Structures are given as structure tokens and as C-alpha cells.
């Protein structure tokens, strides 16, 4: 399996995030990708390469132009507010909820930052735009491999992407790599693309991007949003809208769910995907389902990830894997590569 590795990911390195009322060191750290890369090399799973540059038009197929323009210039604007800001991350302070307007683009940088975000746990840093853009290149590179006939490819990048919507960031995510890969597959002529999100946290951004479309099916297995982030999406009754009605499926599970029950949900998800008859599958590969994850609540163990890979391969669909969450840093490499190893062993 070919891996596209974002060798610029460490340019995005947040110092602090807001977590339960206090500023704490970021859970989303460069070591997450470093451990996965080291495990890939140790186990010799396949060639590893850097991505090619990403065309701005490919990003605009998923994200709103004014949002992309904001991200591209955000750090410079942050410094312009106060030169001392060079030593601290940018975090939003205001949000335009419900009756507030969002169509008018404020002149104030803090106001625009709030307009384009939904939480205070996603620091924007000097290298965020460079790292996120290179990550989108990884996703498109992996999609191109599948288009060229490879059974699977892996986009190893951070920051992750599945919480980013067409015009908002949050949940450590800025550009939605899974959605960019799925749209790239569609634009290349794949008639139907499925996206399966197996991160502990619901892929609210991916759902929102494709919610009214019938050509991209979105399925997510995740912690119950009654109690788990991102709280405001991910319920089982969200089935799509308009042309997309029936093409969105959420399988929320309670905190404490173990592998047997989780795997039942996976099998159900895969049956729905096979029935959809996609030409390609994009997997948002979150590893925060692990029993030792500090900000999640499922009980999966390291050997379980081999079984997950095997189950995904049984769907028989060319597959793009995109690295998402997983914050038990020392174990995330083994768990991620177990999925890929299990997949390739079963796929043959």
C-alpha cells in the first residue's frame, strides 16, 4: 500500500487549547503522525512519498472561497493585530449563533475567526495553512493511486480533517481531507463514492458537505452525540436532505462500547456501503476508538484494528484511507498500521 506522507505537518503545532474551562496542552500533536510513520517503515507496508502540490481549484470544489481566503491569510492578520501574537496561537472568542448574521464578512479579524469556527479547542498557528494544504495534497495523491488501479492508498497527514465543513474549522480540523479525496474521485469520473468515518467523534464536517447529495454516501460510527463531541450532529435520525435523503447514515454508540458491539455496527455500515455499489471508498481512519485514548470512550484493543482492516477489505471496494484522530500517542502508530496491514492481508 502506497502512503502519501505530509512532511510539512509539524509546521502546525498548537501550544494550547480550551478544554473544560481551562487552557491545556494540545492533544493533537505532531508525534501522532511521527509514530504512524515509524510503524509503517518498521513493518515495510509499502512505499512512502511526499504529495504533489494541490491546485486551489480542488480545494474550492469542497470549501467556500471566502473561507479559503481567510485561512490563507489568517496568521498574517493575527500578527498585524499585535506583533506579540507571534508567540501565541490564535483562538476564537466570538461566534454568530442562531439569529446572528453570517452572510456579511466582518472587517474585524477576531469576528471573522469566530464566523469560520465552532470551538475554542482548535488553535491556528503560523504553519497551519501550509500543513493543511499539504495534507489535502496527500488525500488527492492517495485518491489518484486508487484511480490508477491500486487496491488502496493511505494519506498520512495532520491536522486531521473530518470536522471541517465547507466554511468552518473546529475539532482540530481546517481542510476536510476525506471530502477532498471523495470529491476528487467524483471529478475523475467515479459515479458513486462512499465515505466511512470510524473516528470516535462524528465527522460533522463531512456530513454537512455531502448531506444533500446522492452521489456521495456518508456513514459514521461514533460516540453518541448526546454525551460526546461534537454534540450537535451525529444522531441516527439524520438521513440526508433533498437529493441526499437516504444517503447519510449515523450509527451512534454509547460510551464504554467494546469491540464486539462496535464490530456489529461496522458490519451493518459495510452492508449499506456494498448496497450503494460505490466505485471507491474513502475511510476516515480515526484511532481514538482505542481503549486508552484520553479524550474518547470506546474499548477497542490493539489486535482489534487488524480485524477492522480485514472487515474493510471484505467490502471489495478500492479504498482511500485518510488519517484522522487518535490521541493515545504511543499506541496510535501500531493501531493505525494494524488496520492497513489487516486490510492488505485480506485484500491479497
21, pLDDT greater than 90: no
In this predicted model, what pLDDT tens digit does every residue of 277-326 receive, in sequence order?
A: 999 999 999 999 999 999 999 999 999 999 999 999 999 999 999 999 99
Closest by CA to 130, choosing from 5, 31, 10, is 10
65 inside domain: no
64 inside domain: no
Q: How much is the average pLDDT of 257-270?
A: 98
In this predicted model, what pLDDT tens digit does every residue of 46-90 receive, in sequence order?
A: 999 999 889 999 999 999 999 999 999 999 999 999 999 999 999
**Could you tell me the CA-to-CA distances from 34 to 45, 63, 116, 289 in Å, in that order?**
16, 28, 29, 19
User: In this predicted structure, what is the pLDDT of residue 332?
Assistant: 98
Instruction: Tell me the three state secondary structure of residue 75.
Output: helix
Q: Where are the alpha helices (DSSP H) in 55-203?
A: 56-60, 65-81, 109-115, 128-147, 177-187
What CATH code is carried by the domain that includes residue 15? 3.40.800.20
Q: How much is the average pLDDT of 7-36?
A: 95
Cβ neighbours around 245 below 10 Å, total:
12
**Catalytically annotated residues:** 163
Sequence-separated (6 or more) residues with CB below 8 Å from residue 229 = 171, 201, 223, 295
User: In this predicted structure, what is the pLDDT of residue 53?
Assistant: 87
Q: How much is the average pLDDT of 211-233?
A: 98
**Cis peptide bond upstream of 151, omega within 30:** no
User: In this predicted structure, what is the pLDDT of residue 20?
Assistant: 85
Grid coordinates of 106: 466582518
348, pLDDT greater than 90: no
Grid coordinates of 333: 502508530
95 inside domain: no
102 inside domain: no
**Domains held by the chain: number:** 1
**Could you tell me the CA-to-CA distances from 138 to 132, 158, 226, 295 in Å, in that order?**
10, 10, 33, 26
CA pair distance 107, 165, nearest whole angstrom: 22
Place of cell 510503524: 39
Quick check: 89 and 14 in contact, CB under 8 A? yes
User: In this predicted structure, what is the pLDDT of residue 79?
Assistant: 97
In this predicted model, what pLDDT tens digit does every residue of 104-132 receive, in sequence order?
A: 999 999 999 999 999 999 999 999 999 99
DSSP state of 282: E
236 inside domain: yes
**Could you tell me the CA-to-CA distances from 105 to 98, 101, 102, 108 in Å, in that order?**
16, 9, 7, 9
DSSP state of 306: H
Q: What is the mean pLDDT of the chain?
A: 97
72 inside domain: no
218 inside domain: yes
6, pLDDT greater than 90: yes
pTM equals 0.97
DSSP state of 95: -
Quick check: 277 and 192 in contact, CB under 8 A? yes
**Could you tell me the CA-to-CA distances from 107 to 72, 90, 98 in Å, in that order?**
16, 17, 21
The domain of 255 spans 2-52+129-347
Amino acid at each position: 500500500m502506497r502512503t502519501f506522507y505530509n512532511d510539512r505537518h509539524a509546521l502546525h503545532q498548537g501550544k494550547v487549547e480550551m478544554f473544560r474551562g481551562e487552557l491545556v496542552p494540545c492533544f493533537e500533536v505532531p508525534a501522532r503522525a511521527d509514530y504512524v510513520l515509524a510503524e509503517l517503515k518498521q513493518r515495510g507496508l509499502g512505499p512512502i512519498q511526499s504529495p504533489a502540490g494541490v491546485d486551489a481549484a480542488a480545494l474550492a470544489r469542497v470549501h467556500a472561497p471566502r473561507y479559503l481566503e481567510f485561512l490563507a491569510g489568517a496568521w498574517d492578520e493575527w500578527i498585524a493585530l499585535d506583533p506579540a501574537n507571534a508567540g501565541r496561537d490564535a483562538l476564537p472568542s466570538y461566534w454568530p449563533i442562531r439569529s446572528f448574521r453570517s452572510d456579511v464578512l466582518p472587517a474585524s479579524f477576531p469576528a471573522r475567526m469566530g464566523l469560520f469556527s465552532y470551538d475554542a479547542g482548535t488553535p491556528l498557528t503560523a504553519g497551519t495553512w501550509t500543513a493543511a494544504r499539504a495534507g489535502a495534497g496527500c488525500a488527492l495523491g492517495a485518491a489518484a493511486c486508487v484511480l490508477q488501479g491500486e487496491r488502496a492508498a493511505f494519506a498520512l497527514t495532520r491536522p486531521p480533517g473530518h470536522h471541517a465543513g465547507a466554511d468552518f474549522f473546529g475539532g482540530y480540523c481546517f481542510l476536510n481531507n476525506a471530502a477532498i479525496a471523495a470529491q476528487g474521485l467524483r471529478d475523475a469520473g467515479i459515479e458513486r463514492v462512499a465515505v466511512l468515518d470510524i473516528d470516535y467523534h462524528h465527522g460533522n464536517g463531512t456530513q454537512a458537505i455531502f448531506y444533500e447529495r446522492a452521489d456521495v454516501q456518508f456513514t459514521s460510527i461514533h460516540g453518541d452525540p448526546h454525551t460526546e463531541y461534537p454534540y450537535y450532529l451525529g444522531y441516527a435520525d439524520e438521513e440526508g436532505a433533498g437529493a441526499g435523503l437516504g444517503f447519510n447514515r449515523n450509527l451512534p454508540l454509547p460510551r464504554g462500547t467494546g469491540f464486539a458491539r462496535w464490530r456489529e455496527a461496522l458490519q451493518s455500515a459495510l452492508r449499506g456501503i456494498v448496497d450503494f455499489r460505490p466505485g471507491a471508498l474513502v475511510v476516515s481512519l480515526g484511532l481514538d476508538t482505542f481503549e486508552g485514548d484520553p479524550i474518547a470512550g470506546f474499548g477497542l484493543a490493539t489486535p482489534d484494528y487488524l480485524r477492522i482492516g480485514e472487515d474493510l477489505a471484505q467490502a471489495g471496494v478500492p479504498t482511500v484511507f485518510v488519517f484522522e484522530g487518535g490521541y493515545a500517542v504511543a499506541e496510535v502508530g501500531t493501531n493505525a498500521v494494524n488496520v492497513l496491514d489487516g486490510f492488505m492481508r485480506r485484500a491479497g
